Amino acid sequence: MTFSSIACVGIPFIGAGLLRRTKSRNATALLTWLTTTIVFGLSVYFFVQTRASYPLSDMTAAIFSLISAFTWWLVSFYLPEYMKAEERSRSFFIFFLLTLGAVQGIFLANNWIVLLAFFEIMTVTSFFWVIHNQNQEAITAGYFYLFLGIAAGLFIAIGLVFINSLGLPLEIGVNLVSLSNSTLLSWAIACLLIGFGIKAGMVPLHIWLPKAHTVAPTPGSALLSGIIIKCGVYGMIRTAQTINLTNPMASFPTNTGLIVIILGILTMLLGVSLALLQSNAKRLLAYHSVSQVGYIIIGIGTAIYLGNEGSYGLAGAIYHTINHAFFKAALFLGTGIIYLRTGQQNLYKMGGLWRKFPITALLMLIAVFGITGTPGFNGYVSKSLLHHGIIEAAAVGGGLLPWIERLFNLVGVGTTASFAKLYYLAFLRKADPELEINGKENGLLIFPLLIFALVITFIGIKPELFLNKAIILALPELGVSSINNLLATNFWVGREIFNMIITLLAGISFCAIGFRFHLFHYQSPAWLSIEYLGRNFIKGLSYLGSLIERKYEQAMANLSAQAKTCYTWILNFSSRLDTSGWGTSGQISFSNINFDVYLILIAFAILLIYILL
């Protein structure tokens, strides 16, 4: 814990406290911007400091902290302009800063308990982004977000309890598998993966993600998708670290790795295939978050699977986390500009927007190049690293893994197709005559997009810079020490580029076929969805509760009626026996007392007799 890391966490909370006192909208915006700027500056300082003291310090934390502070800083330019259209903007600003503090806390924590505490705070504060609009849809999405977030916290807590029960330390960065190899530890790791997987949007626990991303105000969606789900990814990377990565091909890491890879590919496939069917721009982007997180999960999975040799997978996962933050935030912010000026999120009602928003169209095109993995943009870099990783895993493991490599390419095609669809429907196609456009692009709205686009292109052109200066330094402490291959990686291999271009062309033609044959309008039946099951499960539970209560009250009423009958009968009987006339008990009225307990007394008497005998 250095001063700068504590300040990174503390300053947003102080800023949020001060925001309650600001007088005007401008002051609020300025204070928010100032706070994020300070945090960004501090995190840069922290990053530089960490690099200087390498290898003693924690590079992973520094990278994640830097990326989140950077994204937040850029969004804080965009936020005031966007929030002019929304009600209660002050509360959004407050939660914007609070969540920044919590996220920094997650990344800079050196202890699982502290991490969990900030994780819970982050869940609660970002929940207010989701319900900001307060309509029915937002509230429903908010409940999904909150309950699954709480479930995530509980699962993580259980994982920590298991680790602690084995007498293992709760410091982050300890290779636990080398200390103990009981089944309880594998349960602990499973619980941690489930908990962080919920936040990351891993299938089948992703159900909150598309809902929440769609209803939140756009800056919120951009950060939810760019950074918040990366908190889950960060946790998964840290969990991978607890598995002894330096000891390859032991059965436990291999099995865990395989499961994680399969979950990753399922996440990719489901995300991308649902994304193809969406007509709402933000929902489409949200499903792509699910699918892109699948890429990252596959990278983590190959790292666990290959142990010490898994440098490509792990580096690819971290790199893709960063890249996804940039291009997805840019895409959301671009969609936000269109929504702000046209009030429209439905892709089929947009069209021809490149005339009105030329700069947005250009910058979003760069982001689209990024997410589809076009060579020369950042997505290509991390996707080829991940691809390398999966090929290596397939070479070692065989079995299912070669198939997963093919599916991996297929997802690339799907991604391209759905972004070709988005871009065509929104920008290129002829304009819908009913579309109303009020206002134009605006410097403050464009600025973050511009920076993101520059970064996307820069990483695409000089991928080695950030890889060698930061990510590779983080690998040894995460347990992957054979990094020489990675240092010598050449991204400009003809075959790789050719592969990617084939994928892009396949995607675009698939999109064309889709439009031709109306494939993008398929609706799956409601009962198939997980949220349907979930909601009915909760309804069923509460019904069960009320049923039990009713039955209990009924049983008690019956019991008391029976007891009263019994009591009267005994009273009558004993008064008949009574000849001396002392028995005036019949005149004492017990009628106002509930004699439901008479039977218990009898049971007690029987019990006593039983014991005595």
Partner 1 sequence: MSTFNVLLPILTGTIGGTLIANLRKISKNRRNTLVLVTSVLTALFTWRLLPNVLGYKSVLVGIDEGLRPDPLGMVFALLSSTLWVFATIYSFGYMADKPRQRSYFAYFLISAGVTLGIALAGNLLVLYICYELLTFTTYPLVIYNRDQEAIKAGNRYIIYSLIGAAFILAGLVAVWIWTEGNLTFGNAPLLANLEAKPGMGWIFLLFLIGFGVKAAVMPLHGWLPQAMVAPTPISALLHAVAVVNAGVFGLLRVIYSVYGHSLLSELKVGPIALVIVSITIIVGSLIAMKQDVLKKRLAYSTISQLSYILLGAFTLHPIGLIGALFQMINHGILKITLFFSVGLITEKTGKVKVSDVKGLGPSLPLVFIAFGIVSLGMVGMLPLNGFWSKYYLMQGSTVSGYWPLVIVLLISGLLNAFYYLPIVVSAFTKNTTNHLQPIKLGTNGFLMLVPTILLVMTALALGIWPQLCMPLVNSVIDYFF
Contacts with partner 1, residue ranges (CB under 8 A): 113, 116-117, 120-121, 123-124, 131, 134-135, 139, 142-143, 146-147, 150-151, 153-155, 157-158, 160-162, 164-165, 184, 538, 541-546, 548-549, 552-553, 556, 592-594, 596-597, 600-601, 604, 607-608, 610-611
SS (H, E, C) 371-427: HHCCCCCHHHHHHHHHHHHHHHHHHHHCCCHHHHHHHHHHHHHHHHHHHHHHHHHHH
User: For residue 359, what are the contacts with CB-CB under 8 A and spacing of at least 6?
Assistant: 441, 446, 449, 450
Residue keyed to tokens 């939140």: 216
Minimum distance, C-beta of residue 599 to partner 1, in the bound complex (Å): 11
Q: In degrees rounded to 5, what are phi and psi of residue 280? A: -85, 125
Question: Which whole-number Å values give the CA distances from 35 to 203, 417, 548, in the listed order?
Answer: 36, 40, 53
Residue keyed to tokens 């080829």: 384
**Of 15 and 195, CB closest to partner 1:** 195
How far apart are alpha carbons 475 and 553 in whole angstroms?
62
**Of 12 and 316, CB closest to partner 1:** 12
**Of 89 and 123, CB closest to partner 1:** 123
Minimum distance, C-beta of residue 102 to partner 1, in the bound complex (Å): 11
**Of 150 and 497, CB closest to partner 1:** 150
Q: Tally the residues of the chain.
A: 613
Minimum distance, C-beta of residue 514 to partner 1, in the bound complex (Å): 39
Q: What value, to the nearest 5°, has the Cα angle with vertex 467 and ends 462 and 472?
A: 160
User: For residue 125, what are the contacts with CB-CB under 8 A and spacing of at least 6?
Assistant: 95, 98, 99, 102
Q: Nearest CA to 144 among 506, 407, 538? A: 538
Check whether the bond before 55 is cis (ω within 30° of 0): yes
**Of 151 and 391, CB closest to partner 1:** 151
Minimum distance, C-beta of residue 461 to partner 1, in the bound complex (Å): 43
**Of 114 and 249, CB closest to partner 1:** 114
Minimum distance, C-beta of residue 166 to partner 1, in the bound complex (Å): 9
Residue keyed to tokens 């003291």: 53
Residue keyed to tokens 């790292």: 303
Write out the E strands in 169-249: none
**Of 402 and 534, CB closest to partner 1:** 534
Residue keyed to tokens 């994928």: 503
At 149 the three-state DSSP class reads helix
Minimum distance, C-beta of residue 164 to partner 1, in the bound complex (Å): 6
Stretch (H or E) spanning 130: helix 112-130
Query: Would you list the DSSP string of 554-572?
Result: HHHHHHHHHHHHHHHHHHH
Minimum distance, C-beta of residue 114 to partner 1, in the bound complex (Å): 9
Minimum distance, C-beta of residue 23 to partner 1, in the bound complex (Å): 19
**Of 162 and 332, CB closest to partner 1:** 162
Residue type, 433: P
**Of 570 and 602, CB closest to partner 1:** 602
Stretch (H or E) spanning 311: helix 311-342
Minimum distance, C-beta of residue 608 to partner 1, in the bound complex (Å): 7
At 552 the three-state DSSP class reads helix
Check whether the bond before 204 is cis (ω within 30° of 0): yes
Minimum distance, C-beta of residue 541 to partner 1, in the bound complex (Å): 6
CA-based max dimension of the chain: 116
Minimum distance, C-beta of residue 145 to partner 1, in the bound complex (Å): 11
Q: Nearest CA to 217 among 313, 340, 98, 389? A: 340
**Of 154 and 410, CB closest to partner 1:** 154
Cβ atoms of 177 and 253 within 8 Å: the answer is: yes
**Of 403 and 552, CB closest to partner 1:** 552
**Of 41 and 534, CB closest to partner 1:** 534
520 DSSP 8-state letter: G
Minimum distance, C-beta of residue 220 to partner 1, in the bound complex (Å): 17
Minimum distance, C-beta of residue 109 to partner 1, in the bound complex (Å): 11
**Of 549 and 578, CB closest to partner 1:** 549
